[in-house]
């Protein structure tokens, strides 16, 4: 019987099934009730027990091989059916190309402007301590200037908070480096404000710091003029208004004349045509001392701006909330074709 099995295994192995008709004939010859495998199993029952072990292995091998032949044909037929369902006349579907977020674009543009004049990049933690965020910046505890920034404090530690500005990065940098210092500090900041078309509890800032010998307010004005012309063009009008910031003295706010050509212009400039884009000033000597820099030898200026405000102006966006909603209809407008 072993010789018969070996011959049948060889026959099955050499059988090639091309079509459904071949498969039907193959099944009839080998796997039907009157087929060869059924006859072999009947003969197997009559064998003495001493022969059944070896013969049984060959018989099972034959059965697996025969069933495998049929399954391979069925799989091939199913693949052909699936392929036949594909409409080759349909236009191809291409992967969508993402777009850089408008805030990231403008942030990169601002960084590039200041890098051209020697400013380096410095970043710091978003979860900050009270000293770096307030006290070192001339705002000790109970100082009224703290009321200007509604702060998110961490409940488990009253001295830990979400930073309200990136000025904390400047303190960290000044403590670890000696003048001359020329850095910009971009980053996300947090303040407890009602969310509207003009305000959000999360926003992005870029702050700049320049510390060296004999730095004056004239140097600050020249730097601001260079930045404004680089971003908004040489024709833009600017003005400096006296202001108050606890970490600079004197302090100023910088406005640009946006105009009153459209209804949006009236709304965002409150009917004046002027729009504030940043705050700036000479670094207060107390801040320098807190960072272990001698104010009798060094002076410097600092400035800070909201990236959202600059982006809204450059792209005529009238609702700040659009930056945070992940609306593809909005974001696709900034996609490069």
Same domain, 79 and 114: no
- The alpha carbon of 188 is separated from its chain's Cα centroid by a whole number of angstroms, namely 13
Q: Decide if 284 contacts 246 (C-beta within 8 A).
A: yes
pLDDT at position 113: 97
The pLDDT averaged over each successive group of 10 residues in the chain (337 residues) is 70 71 74 74 72 72 74 62 65 75 94 96 94 91 71 83 94 96 96 84 95 97 96 93 94 92 80 92 96 96 95 86 89 78
Residue that finishes a domain, picked among 36, 52, 84: 84
- Assess whether 279 and 176 both reside in one domain: yes
pLDDT at residue number 78: 58
Within a domain: 224: yes
- Boundaries of domain holding 107: 102-334
d(Cα 227, Cα 224) in Å, to the nearest integer?
A: 5
Number of domain units in the chain:
2
Q: What confidence score (pLDDT) does residue 50 get?
A: 72
CB 290 within 8 A of CB 170: no
Task: Tell me, yes or no, whether 135 and 73 share the same domain.
Answer: no
User: Would the pTM of this model clear 0.95, i.e. be above it?
Assistant: no
Residue 274 is given by DSSP the state E
Residues comprising the chain, all counted: 337
Judgement on whether residues 37 and 161 belong to the same structural domain of the protein: no
The answer to whether residue 184 sits within a structural domain is yes
In a domain, 91, yes or no: no
Q: Is residue 63 located within the same domain as residue 118?
A: no
Residue 210 lies in a domain: yes
User: Are 47 and 164 within one domain?
Assistant: no
- Judgement on whether residues 45 and 128 belong to the same structural domain of the protein: no
Q: What is the pLDDT of residue 73?
A: 63
Distance CA 81, CA 61 (A): 31
Claim to verify: residue 76 and residue 115 sit in the same structural domain:
no
- What SS3 class is residue 279? strand
Structure tokens at 153: 């404090």
Q: Counting Cβ atoms within 10 Å, is residue 151 exposed (0-12), middle (13-18) or buried (19+)?
A: middle
Q: Are 42 and 128 found together in one domain?
A: no
């Amino acid at each position: 019987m072993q010789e018969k099995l070996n011959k049948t295994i060889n026959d099955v192995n050499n059988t090639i099934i091309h079509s459904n008709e071949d498969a039907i004939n193959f099944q009839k010859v080998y796997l039907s009730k009157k087929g060869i495998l059924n006859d072999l199993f009947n003969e197997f029952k009559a064998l003495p027990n001493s022969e059944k072990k070896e013969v049984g292995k060959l018989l099972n091998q034959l059965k697996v091989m025969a069933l495998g032949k049929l399954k391979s044909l069925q799989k091939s037929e199913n693949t052909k059916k699936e392929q036949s369902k594909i409409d080759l006349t349909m236009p191809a579907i291409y992967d969508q190309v993402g777009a850089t977020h408008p805030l990231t674009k403008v942030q990169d543009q601002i960084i590039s402007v200041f890098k051209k004049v020697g400013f380096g990049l410095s970043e710091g933690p978003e979860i900050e301590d009270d000293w770096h965020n307030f006290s070192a910046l001339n705002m000790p505890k109970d100082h009224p200037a703290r009321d200007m920034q509604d702060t998110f404090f961490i409940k488990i530690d009253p001295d830990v908070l979400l930073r309200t500005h990136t000025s904390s990065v400047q303190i960290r940098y000044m403590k670890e480096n000696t003048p001359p210092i020329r850095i910009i500090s971009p980053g996300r900041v947090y303040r407890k404000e009602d969310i509207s078309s003009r305000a959000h509890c999360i926003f992005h800032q870029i702050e700049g710091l320049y510390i060296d010998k004999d730095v004056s307010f004239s140097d600050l004005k020249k730097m601001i003029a260079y930045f404004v012309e680089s971003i908004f063009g040489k024709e833009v009008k600017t003005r400096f208004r006296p202001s108050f910031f606890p970490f600079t003295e004197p302090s100023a706010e910088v406005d640009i004349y946006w105009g009153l050509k459209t209804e949006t212009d009236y709304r965002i400039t409150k009917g004046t045509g002027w729009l504030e884009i940043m705050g700036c000033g000479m670094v207060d000597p107390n801040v320098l001392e807190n960072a272990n820099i001698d104010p009798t030898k060094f002076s410097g200026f600092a400035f800070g701006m909201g990236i959202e405000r600059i982006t809204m102006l450059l792209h005529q966006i009238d609702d700040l909330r659009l930056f945070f909603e992940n609306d593809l209809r909005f974001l696709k407008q900034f996609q490069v074709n």
